[in-house]
Amino acid sequence: MKTTSLLLALALATTFGARAQGPAVDHSAHHAPVQSDGEVRKVDLAQGKVTLRHGPLQNLDMPAMTMVFKAADPRLLDGLKAGDKVRFTAEKVNGALAVTALQVVE
């Protein structure tokens, strides 16, 4: 009986607590990484940087251009070479632009 009462109390507290805070909203779609197309122009493994010619970066409100990005994780650059076509995500990380995801496409 005590277990049933405890479970009922927890269920009621959870239900009313959720209503008091409003409906649950999934904000993950607002923060989903935006992928962009690009072409590798240069890879600098020593500095952990890659030069990409890319289309517009919608999430950063930037037009198409060629620019250097720091790799958020230097392992993203492993096996990468000039001429590779890529899909990548660029984001502001600690105030600087960085590639946070990158994959070579055929």
**Domain membership flag for residue 100:** yes
**Domain membership flag for residue 5:** no
Domain count, the chain: 1
The pLDDT value given to residue 88: 97
d(CA 90, CA 20) in angstroms, rounded, equals 38
Question: What is this structure's pTM?
Answer: 0.69
Beta strands in the chain (DSSP E): 36-44, 49-54, 65-71, 85-93, 96-104
The percent of residues above 90 in pLDDT, for the chain, comes to 63
Q: For 4-17, how does the pLDDT look when each residue is reduced to its tens digit (9 = 90+)?
A: 444 444 444 444 44
**Domain membership flag for residue 2:** no
Q: For 9-50, how does the pLDDT look when each residue is reduced to its tens digit (9 = 90+)?
A: 444 444 444 444 444 444 444 556 789 999 999 999 999 999
More confident position, 13 or 80: 80
**Domain membership flag for residue 22:** no
CATH code of the domain covering residue 37: 2.40.50.320
* Residue owning tokens 């904000």: 27
What is the residue range of 67's domain? 31-104
